C-alpha cells in the first residue's frame, strides 16, 4: 500500500549516465518501519549502495531525503539528509542540513527522496519542477563558487524553490568539500561536494507547486497549537532570536554582533533562526556581506588566532564560496605547517608560508587547496591522503584525529569544551567520522546538575529502566554518569528527530518529547504509532546505519580513542572533572555497544539484535 499523507509517497530516481529519470512509490510498511527522512534514506541505501564502491566512482549513489513533518509548518521541521559513501572516511555517512526551502519544495514537488546514480558526461544541474525533471547544462556554472552558482540558477527560476550547490572545491574533489543549501546550510563535511563533483553534478534545484496533506487535521491542529504556545512562552525565545548561536557561544560581544547583523535567517517554520546574514561595517572590507549557517562559524577563525573579526568573516566567506569545511581546512593547515616545519613536505612548496592567523596566507592556501594548485593538490586529499603519502613520519606529528578527520571538540580542536559528554564520545562512535550533531544530550550544557537529567532523559525517550544505568558511574558504585550508555539513547533520539524532519539543535529539540513525536507522526501520516513503537524504530534506524558500514567492513574495530585526548591537558571526566583516562573511554565505548545490542569487541550489531529489529533479512 502506498502512502500519501505526510509523505509525498515517491522516490525520484535520476541516472546521470543515461539521463533517465523515473518516479517510484514507497510502501506504507517501509515508511512506517523506518519512520521516514533519515531512517528511510538509510533503508533506501541498503539497496542503492554497492558494497565496496569507491566514493568517487559513478556507481556511488547520493540519496537525499526529507521527513514526513517537513513542509507541514511544525516548528523547525525542515531537515534534509543526504546519505552517500564519503571520501574523507570511506564510510557511508549521513549529511544533514537545515533544509531552508529545499526540503518542503521537494515534498511539494511530489517526492520524499531522490536517488542519484551514475555520472554525467558534462557538467549539469538537476532541475526539478514537480513532474518536470530535467538535467540542464551547467557549463556556464562550472568554475563558479557556491553563491555565484545559486544566484545564476535563481535568475533562471525566478528566485523560487530550494537549491543545493557545490563550489570549486567540490568540482575538484577536495575530500572535505560540502554542498550548500540555498547558500547557507552546509551539508556533508566528509566530502559530499566531492561526490557531486565527481558526478559532474553542480547543483540540484527544486520547486514544488503541489502540497502536503495530513491524515488527522483536527489532531494535528491541536498538537501544533499546543507546541507553538509552549515555544511562544519560552522565556529565552527573544534572546535566541536576537543572538542566534552567539547565545550559547559568545565569541564576540552582543554590541559588536548588532553592528554587523543585517538579519537573522531561519529554515522553513523555525522559530529560532540560527543562521545569519552579516555585513562588515568598516575597514578594508567595508560593505562585504556574508550569509552563514551561523555567525559563530563566520567568526571561528578567531579561535584559530585571528585577531580581527572582519578578517575572520572574510576568510570564512571565501571558504564557503569554494565550498570547503572550515574546521577541516584549519586542521589540515595546522598539520601542513607542521609537515613543512619537519621537512616532510618540501620547503619550496610552502609558498606563501602557512601562517594560521594570517588572512593573506590562509586566503592563498584556501585557493590552492580548492583549485588543487601546488601543494594544495596534496592538502585537498585531506588527512587520509597526507598520511597515506608520508606514512609514519607524518603520523607522528598529526593532531588528534578520528577516522582520519579533525574532531570538532577536544584537544587541538576548535571548540574548547573539555568535559567529556555524549557529543564528545559520539565523535568516536559515529560511523561517518567525528561529528557532534548526533550525540546531543543534557551533557551539551557543561556541569548541568545530574538531578535535572531524568526529566530530559525521559523526554528523549530513554526507558525508565535504563535511567539508573545511565546515572551511575562505570563501576556502578557511586553517583555519576555513564556517558556510553547515554550515548546509545542520544543516537536513537537523533534518529527519531532526523527521521521526522525535526532539527536536533538543543534550543529546538528541548520542546519535543517522544510522546509528542509519536502523536505528531500519527496525526500527519495516519500510521498508528505508539511511543514504544517509535523508540524501537529509532533503534532500528541507527543499527541499520551501523550495519551499512559493517557491510562495508568499515564499522568494525574502528572506534578508537585518539591518544591526544587522554594526554594531559586532555579531556576531563564529565562529573568528577578529573583527567580522562583511555581505560575510561574504552569502557564507555563498550557500554555504548552493550546498550545498542552490538558486539562489545567488534561493534557489529549482534544477530539477536538484528532479528529483534527486523534487520536480519536485509543483510543475508
Partner 1 sequence: MKRFKIKVDPAVCTGCMRCMLACSWVHSKRFSLSGAMIMVDASGAECSITFADGCIQCGSCADACFYGALAKQAPEEVMP
Interface residues with partner 1 (CB under 8 A)?
A: 71-73, 75, 101, 104-105, 108, 154, 159-160, 208-214, 217, 228, 231-232, 237, 241, 262-271, 273, 277, 289
Write down the least CB distance from residue 242 to partner 1, Å: 10
Mapped onto helix, strand or coil, the DSSP state of residue 2 is strand
**Among 204, 157, 201, 162, residue whose Cα is nearest residue 184:** 162
Write down the least CB distance from residue 507 to partner 1, Å: 13
Of 206 and 336, nearer to partner 1 (C-beta) is 206
Q: Is 87 exposed, middle or buried (0-12, 13-18, 19+ CB in 10 A)?
A: buried
Of 182 and 328, nearer to partner 1 (C-beta) is 182
Write down the least CB distance from residue 235 to partner 1, Å: 15
CA angle 403–404–406, rounded 5-degree value: 100
- State the Cα–Cα distance between residues 601 and 376, nearest whole angstrom: 39
Write down the least CB distance from residue 71 to partner 1, Å: 5
Which residue stretches of 300-401 are H helix? 309-322, 326-341, 359-370, 376-379, 382-396
Write down the least CB distance from residue 492 to partner 1, Å: 28
C-alpha cell, 67:
521527513
Q: Is 564 exposed, middle or buried (0-12, 13-18, 19+ CB in 10 A)?
A: middle
Of 83 and 290, nearer to partner 1 (C-beta) is 290
Write down the least CB distance from residue 228 to partner 1, Å: 8
Write down the least CB distance from residue 72 to partner 1, Å: 5
Of 101 and 402, nearer to partner 1 (C-beta) is 101
Of 214 and 550, nearer to partner 1 (C-beta) is 214
Of 71 and 526, nearer to partner 1 (C-beta) is 71
Of 269 and 596, nearer to partner 1 (C-beta) is 269
Of 199 and 275, nearer to partner 1 (C-beta) is 275
Q: Which residues does 614 contact at the CB level (< 8 Å), separation at least 6?
A: 33, 540
- State the Cα–Cα distance between residues 150 and 147, nearest whole angstrom: 5
Would you say how long the chain is, in residues?
620
C-alpha cell, 96:
544533514
Write down the least CB distance from residue 256 to partner 1, Å: 20
C-alpha cell, 564:
591526544
Q: Is 277 exposed, middle or buried (0-12, 13-18, 19+ CB in 10 A)?
A: middle
Write down the least CB distance from residue 214 to partner 1, Å: 8
Q: Which residues does 117 contact at the CB level (< 8 Å), separation at least 6?
A: 13, 14, 15, 16, 17, 48, 58, 59, 61
- State the Cα–Cα distance between residues 492 and 534, nearest whole angstrom: 10
Quick one: DSSP state of residue 57? S
Of 76 and 495, nearer to partner 1 (C-beta) is 76
Amino acid at each position: 500500500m502506498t502512502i500519501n499523507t505526510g509523505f509525498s509517497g515517491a522516490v525520484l530516481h535520476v541516472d546521470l549516465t543515461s539521463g533517465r529519470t523515473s518516479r517510484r512509490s514507497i510502501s506504507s510498511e517501509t515508511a512506517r518501519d523506518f519512520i521516514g527522512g533519515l531512517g528511510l534514506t538509510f533503508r533506501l541505501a541498503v539497496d542503492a549502495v554497492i558494497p565496496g564502491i569507491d566514493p568517487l566512482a559513478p556507481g556511488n549513489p547520493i540519496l537525499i531525503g526529507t521527513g514526513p513533518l517537513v513542509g507541514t509548518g511544525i516548528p523547525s521541521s525542515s531537515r534534509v539528509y543526504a546519505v552517500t559513501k564519503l571520501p574523507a572516511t570511506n564510510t557511508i555517512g549521513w549529511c544533514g542540513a537545515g533544509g531552508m526551502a529545499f526540503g518542503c519544495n521537494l515534498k511539494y514537488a511530489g517526492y520524499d527522496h531522490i536517488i542519484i546514480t551514475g555520472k554525467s558526461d558534462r557538467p549539469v544541474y538537476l532541475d526539478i519542477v514537480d513532474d518536470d525533471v530535467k538535467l540542464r547544462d551547467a557549463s556556464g556554472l562550472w568554475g563558479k563558487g557556491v553563491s555565484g552558482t545559486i544566484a545564476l540558477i535563481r535568475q533562471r527560476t525566478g528566485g523560487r524553490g530550494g537549491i543545493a550547490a557545490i563550489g570549486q572545491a567540490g568540482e575538484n574533489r577536495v575530500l572535505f568539500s560540502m554542498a550548500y543549501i540555498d547558500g547557507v546550510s552546509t551539508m556533508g563535511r566528509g566530502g559530499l561536494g566531492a561526490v557531486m563533483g565527481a558526478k559532474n553534478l553542480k547543483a540540484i534545484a527544486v520547486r514544488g507547486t503541489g502540497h502536503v496533506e495530513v491524515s488527522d487535521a483536527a489532531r494535528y491542529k491541536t498538537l501544533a497549537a499546543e507546541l507553538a504556545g509552549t515555544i511562544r512562552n519560552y522565556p529565552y525565545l527573544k534572546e535566541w532570536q536576537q543572538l542566534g548561536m552567539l547565545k550559547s557561544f559568545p565569541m564576540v560581544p552582543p554590541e559588536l554582533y548588532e553592528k554587523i547583523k543585517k538579519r537573522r535567517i531561519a529554515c522553513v517554520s523555525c522559530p529560532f533562526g540560527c543562521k545569519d546574514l552579516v555585513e562588515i561595517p568598516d575597514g578594508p572590507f567595508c560593505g562585504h556581506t556574508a550569509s552563514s549557517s551561523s555567525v559563530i562559524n563566520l567568526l571561528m577563525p578567531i579561535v584559530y588566532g585571528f585577531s580581527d573579526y572582519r578578517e575572520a568573516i572574510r576568510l570564512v566567506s571565501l571558504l564557503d564560496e569554494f565550498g570547503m569545511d572550515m574546521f577541516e581546512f584549519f586542521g589540515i593547515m595546522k598539520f601542513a605547517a607542521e609537515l613543512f616545519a619537519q621537512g616532510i613536505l618540501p620547503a619550496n612548496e610552502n609558498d606563501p608560508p602557512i601562517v594560521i592567523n594570517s588572512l593573506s596566507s590562509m586566503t592563498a592556501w584556501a585557493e590552492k587547496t580548492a583549485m588543487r594548485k601546488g601543494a594544495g593538490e596534496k592538502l585537498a586529499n585531506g588527512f587520509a591522503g597526507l598520511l597515506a603519502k608520508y606514512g609514519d613520519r607524518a603520523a607522528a606529528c598529526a593532531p588528534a584525529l578520528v577516522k582520519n578527520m579533525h574532531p570538532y571538540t577536544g584537544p587541538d580542536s576548535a571548540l574548547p569544551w573539555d568535559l567529556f559528554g555524549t557529543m564528545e564520545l559520539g565523535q568516536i562512535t559515529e560511523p561517518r567520522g567525528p561529528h557532534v550533531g548526533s550525540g546531543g544530550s543534557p551533557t551539551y550544557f557543561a556541569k548541568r546538575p545530574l538531578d535535572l537529567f531524568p526529566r530530559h532523559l525521559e523526554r528523549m525517550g530513554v526507558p525508565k529502566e535504563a535511567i539508573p544505568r545511565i546515572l551511575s558511574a562505570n563501576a556502578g558504585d557511586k553517583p555519576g554518569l555513564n556517558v556510553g550508555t547515554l550515548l546509545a539513547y542520544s543516537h536513537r533520539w537523533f534518529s527519531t528527530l532526523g527521521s521526522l524532519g525535526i532539527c536536533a539543535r538543543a534550543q529546538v529539540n528541548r520542546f519535543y518529547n517522544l510522546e509528542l513525536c509519536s502523536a505528531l507522526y500519527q496525526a500527519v501520516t495516519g500510521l498508528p504509532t505508539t511511543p514504544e513503537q517509535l523508540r524501537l524504530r529509532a533503534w532500528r534506524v541507527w543499527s541499520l546505519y551501523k550495519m551499512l558500514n559493517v557491510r562495508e567492513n568499515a564499522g568494525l574495530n574502528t572506534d578508537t580513542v585518539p591518544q591526544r585526548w587522554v594526554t594531559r591537558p586532555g579531556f576531563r571526566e564529565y562529573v568528577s572533572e578529573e583527567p580522562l583516562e583511555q581505560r575510561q573511554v574504552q569502557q564507555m565505548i563498550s557500554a555504548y555497544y552493550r546498550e545498542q545490542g552490538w558486539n562489545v569487541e567488534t561493534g557489529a550489531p549482534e544477530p539477536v539484535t538484528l532479528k529483534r529489529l527486523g534487520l536480519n533479512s536485509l543483510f543475508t
